[in-house]
Amino acid sequence: MKKQLVALGLAAGLVMSPTVYSYAQGNGSADLSEKVKWSDRVGTPEFVSGKLTKASKDSAETIVFNYLNGKEGSFKLGGDAKNSFKVLEKQQDELGFTYLRLQQVYKGTPVFGSVITAHVDKDGVLTALSGAVQPDLDKKAGSKADKVSKKDAISKGEADLTAAAGSQPDYEYAPKADYVIFMKDGTAHYAYHVNYNFLSPEPGNWDYFVDASSGEILSKYNSIDHAKPGGGATGGTNTVGTGTGVLGDTKSLNTLLSGSTYYLQDNTRGKGIFTYDASSRTRLPGTLWADADDQFNASYDHAAVDAHYYAGVTYDYYKNTFNRNSYDNNGAALKASVHYSRNYNNAFWNGSQMVYGDGDGVNFIEFSGGIDVVAHELTHAVTEKTAGLVYQNESGAINESLSDIFGTLVEFYSGKSPDWEIGEDIYTPSKQGDALRSMSDPTKYGDPDNYASRYTGTSDNGGVHTNSGISNKAAYLLSQGGTAYGVKVTGVGTSKTGAIFYRALTQYLTPQATFSQLRAAAVQSAVDLYGSSSQEAASVNAAFDAVGVH
C-alpha cells in the first residue's frame, strides 16, 4: 500500500480558465465590471469578484439576493433567490466585510454540497460570491415520490457496509440520516444522506446517499478525516507538570490535580484539552491519563505527553494568529486518545476527537510525536466546521492540502526544527531524511506538483492524498518563493501565507470547491488583506500559475 494512504488519517474534472467580462445591466449601474470563473461541473459561476453592486444600506442578504435575481441568466435559480437559500452563517470580519454562508435549498430541501459565500463591504457593495449553485432545479427536481423511509435507507447502507467489511459495524453513535437533494450525472435525486461512524471492524466515518424513491445507493465515501468524548476529572487544582515526549525532549504540561492524582487535563485553553489512554483497545476515549507525581517520564507516557502538548500548541497557533477559539471557534474541548489498538499505523480525526496509533516501530513510531501530524488532524476539524470540504476528488485533495499547510505552519510557529516535509518525525525511525510527503517537492514521494499531472482515478476517494501535492507546492512557493515550470514566484513568508489560506478556508471555500476555486479564493483573500496591487496578490497568482491551476 502506498505510504501516502497509510498515514495521516493522514479528481478531477477540467478546470476552465478565468473568463472576464463586463455586465452593463443589473443593479442600477452601467459601469460595474465582474471577473467570473465558471464551473465546468455545473455550468454556473463558481467565483465572481469585483465591484458587483452599487453602495447600499440594505441588509447583506438583500444585497446578495437582489444581485442573484439580476443574474438569473447565469445562476438559473428559477425563482426569487431568497427562496433558494438558507443563511447558515453571518459574520462581520476584522476588515469590515459582512460575510454570509448560504445553503442552496429547493422547496425547503437542502441541496447537498451546494453552498455559496458572499462578501459585502462596509459601504454595502457586494465584492465576491464563491461557490457554484445547482441550476434549473425547477426543471430537474420534479416532485417527491418517496418510497423509502429513513429507517430503510439506513438499513440499505448498513447492509452494504456489512457486506464489504465482513461484519456489522460497531457504531460510536447511532447512524443518522438527513433528507437532501443529491445531484448525480446532472440528475436531481431526493435522497437520504446517511452517516455511519464506527471503529470496528476498522475505523470508518462513511457517508452514504440513498435514493428516496428507488433505494439505490447513489454514492458513498469514507470521510474518516472529518475524524467519543469522555468526561474529565471534576474539581481540582490547575498545575504544571513535566513530561518526556516521543523523541526524548522534555516539555511542560498543563495538568489538573484532583485528590492525590494528576491528570492530563488542561483547563487553561478553551473548554479544555483532555488526553486519554486507549490501552491498546479500540474503544474511545479510554481513561483520562493519570499520574501520581506530575512527572510524565515513563516510556508509556511519551505518546500522551506529545498529544497533550502539541494540541496546546495548535490551539495557541489558531488563537494567537487568527483569534480562533478552538476548532469550532467556540472553545470546543480538544480530546485525544493515544495507544489506540496495537501496532496501528495511523492517526485520524473521527468527527469528535483525535486518535493516535503507536505505529509498528518499523514504518512508524507513535504518531503523536509529530507536531505537524497533530496540527494536520486538528485542521481537519477546523475545515469541517468552516468550508466543510467534501472528502472526495478535488475538494478532498484541497481538504488534505490545507491540513498539510497548517500542519507545517504550526511547526514553524512552534520553532521545532520546522521544514516543508510532512510526518518526518514519526516515519521510518531507522531511516533519516525521508517523510510521508514533501511540500517543497511533492514529486519526491510520487505526488503531482502540477495540475496537468494530477491523478484522475477513483482510489483514495479520487486521490485526496495525492493531488494535495498541487496546492501544497503552491503554498510552499507562496511562502518561500522559487521557480517552477518556468514561473518565478516571490515569497511572502509563512505569516502571510497562513493569513491568505486561513481567510480562503474560512470565508471563501465551499464544500465542493475545485482547485480553480481555491486559486480564486486565495487571490481574493490576498486582495482583501493586502490590496489588489500588492506583492502578496501577485505572488498568489504566480504560485498557482506555477502549478498549472488557472
The residues carrying an active-site annotation are: 377, 465
Nearest to 239 by CA among 224, 250, 255, 217: 255
SS (H, E, C) 347-415: EEECCCCEEEECCCCCCECCHHHCHHHHHHHHHHHHHHHCCCCCCCHHHHHHHHHHHHHHHHHHHHHHC
What is the identity of the amino acid at 528?
A: D
Q: Judge whether 435 and 421 are in contact, CB under 8 Å.
A: yes
**Strands 187-200 and 170-171, how do they pair?**
antiparallel
C-alpha radius of gyration, the chain, whole number: 24
What is each CA distance from 320 to 315, 416, 525, in whole angstroms? 8, 18, 19
Q: 496509533: which residue's cell?
A: 357
**CB neighbour class for 164 (10 Å; exposed up to 12, middle 13-18, buried from 19):** exposed
Q: Judge whether 133 and 44 are in contact, CB under 8 Å.
A: yes
The alpha-helical segments, DSSP class H, found in 76-145 are: 137-140
Q: Judge whether 68 and 77 are in contact, CB under 8 Å.
A: yes
The alpha-helical segments, DSSP class H, found in 55-127 are: 60-70, 72-75
> CA torsion angle for 183, 189, 192, 194 (degrees, to 10)?
-30
Nearest to 484 by CA among 436, 521, 440, 522: 440
CB environment 304-342: b (16+ within 10 A), e (fewer): bbbbbbbbbbbbebbbebbebbbbbbeebbbbbbbbbbe
Helices 302-322 and 494-503, axial angle in degrees (round to 10): 80
DSSP structure string for 207-256? EEEEETTT--EEEEEE-GGG--------S-EEEEEEEE-TTS-EEEEEEE
Dihedral over Cα of 379, 384, 386, 389: its sign: positive
